[in-house]
Amino acid sequence: MIRIGVSACLIGAPVRYDGRAATLEDKLLDTWKAEGRLMAVCPEVLGGLPTPRPSAERLGNRVVTQSGEDQTDAFVAGAERAVRALRSAGIKAVILKSKSPSCGLGRIYDGSFEGRLTDGDGLFALAAKAEGLAVFRDDQIQAASQWLTDFNQSMEEIG
Ligand code: SF4
């Protein structure tokens, strides 16, 4: 069975900065979860950050908390560990929680801590793309499903 990575908070893990989940209500995701198709990763937890923790945002190449603490090293380490975990499990695609300084894809909070978004990716999304993983936002589950269909088909053709 082809497996897919997913930001852990999207499937109910209470690992967000505020100690809560960000569970995504989606039938396909539920089906994949029930099939055991999903591998949950939280790069911030893998980076050694506690839960709950201060919220953080990307500010240029750094990741900082609202009080100005630089947490870039933990975010980079977590992103690398999360990608390595997916790679080790043979996973080639990941569904990412939007806007996060780790998992955000395309649009992320802009470092002002005022709820404003800017173009850009979280550090885990960047690392996943650099590793050649297929990446999908949490509003792109249908696209992930299509990727799965295409990937299955290509495996059958090869096999
Ligand atoms: Fe969710 Fe990603 Fe934030 Fe972890 S780092 S809580 S998986 S958005």
Per-residue pLDDT tens digits for 101-152: 999 999 999 999 999 999 999 999 999 999 999 999 999 999 999 999 999 8
DSSP characters for the chain? ---EEEEGGGGT---STTS-------HHHHHHHHHT-EEEE-HHHHTT--SS---EEEETTEEEETT--B-HHHHHHHHHHHHHHHHHTT--EEEE-TB-TTT--SEEE-SSSSS-EEE---HHHHHHHHTT-EEEETT-HHHHHHHHHHHHHHHHHH-
> How do residues 60-106 score in pLDDT, each as one tens digit?
999 999 999 999 999 999 999 999 999 999 999 999 999 999 999 99
In this predicted structure, what is the pLDDT of residue 156? Answer: 86
Q: Look up the pTM and report it.
A: 0.97
The answer on pLDDT for 159 being more than 80 is no
Residue whose CA is at the smallest distance from ligand 1 atom 6: 16
Tell me, using a 6 A CB cutoff, whether residue 15 lines ligand 1: yes
The ipTM, to two decimals, is 0.99
Parse the chain into domains and list their residue ranges. Answer: 4-158
Q: How far is the CA of 43 from the centre of ligand 1 (A)?
A: 6
Is 42's C-beta closer than 6 angstroms to any atom of ligand 1? yes
